[in-house]
Amino acid sequence: MSPDALPEIGLGTMGISDPERIASAIEMGYRHLDTAQIYENEEVVGRGIELANVPREGIFIATKVWADSLAHDDVIASTETSLDKLGVEYVDLLYVHRPIEAYDPAETLPAFDALLDQERIQHVGVSNFTSEELDTARDVLDAPIFAHQVEMHPLFQQADLLADGRQHGTNLVAYSPIAQGDVFDLPELSATAEKYDATEAQVALAWLVEKGVVPIPRSQSDDHLRENLRATNLELTSEDVARIESIDREKKLFE
């Protein structure tokens, strides 16, 4: 698929163990699937893609190399294993999952460039990087950083990384976009949800989309999957956005 712009809302697959759930999401309209080696469900995602009545070329598939496989040769080998599990010849986006453990920019990132040259991946991404780590990665990589995946939601707004992405043309992808359900307890979101006869989750997702961020919510429920996808139909005003950005509480869920 390899688009210049990601679909507005993707599907986070962490914890999904039923390929039918993946197939159902694809058939209801999801075209961006996000998995990772550490989730141990790449085979589930691959089987779901196989079950769905949508050509592989119509689906944007992203996975991530875990921290213990970030030495140069391990990046190559583990990515080949990921491709086998997913049942595909390439992934559209491959991330460095976290810059810890075996991560060494001079060792790790040239392997991503090599996979791109071999057409085993279409885009290079990073996840959970600081601004300084992004600068270093850009200096080392030949390829542009297509996407940076981070925790982002109304209680953790990531203004600095959003500005970085806009400056460098890097897509910001938001995991845990509804703060593991904490958005339902935010009066600023509840007021906006009531205004539009929507849910707080839809408002949180629409807020991210409005900012040009790609949320990847996950759910085990088809009803919630449909509800999340419909958030793209919710058009927030500048006043709505300002109300959410005025939240002065901060809660980071993942270290």
pLDDT for residue 72:
98
Contact residues for 128 (Cβ-Cβ < 8 A; gap 6+): 97, 98, 99, 149, 150, 151
Domains detected in the chain: 11-182+208-230 (3.20.20.100)
pLDDT for residue 220:
85
- Per the CB < 8 A criterion, the answer to whether 127 and 97 are in contact is yes
Contact residues for 255 (Cβ-Cβ < 8 A; gap 6+): none
pLDDT for residue 203:
98
Q: Can you give the pTM of this predicted structure?
A: 0.96
**Three-class SS state of 186:** coil
Provide the CB-side half-sphere exposure for 16 (13 A, CA).
30
Strand ordering across the sheet containing 214-215: 11-12, 32-34, 60-65, 93-96, 124-127, 145-151, 171-175, 214-215
Contact residues for 253 (Cβ-Cβ < 8 A; gap 6+): 151, 156, 176, 179, 180
- What separation in angstroms does the CA of 40 have from each of 14, 16, 62, 120? 9, 10, 14, 20
Phi, psi of 184, deg, nearest 5: -70, -15
- Known catalytic residue at 30: no
β-sheet bridge partners, residue 34: 12, 62
CA 165, 169, 175, 177 torsion-angle sign: positive
**Three-class SS state of 212:** coil
Which residue out of 39, 90, 95, 175 is catalytically annotated?
39
32 DSSP assignment: E
pLDDT for residue 5:
72
Strands 60-65 and 171-175: unpaired
Q: What is the pLDDT along the chain (255 residues), one digit of tens a residue?
A: 445 678 999 999 999 999 999 999 999 999 999 999 999 999 999 999 999 989 999 999 999 999 999 999 999 999 999 999 999 999 999 999 999 999 999 999 999 999 999 999 999 999 999 999 999 999 999 999 999 999 999 999 999 999 999 999 999 999 999 999 999 999 999 999 999 999 999 999 999 999 999 999 998 889 999 999 999 999 999 999 999 999 988 888 887
Q: What gap in Å lies between CA 112 and CA 106, rounded to an integer?
A: 11
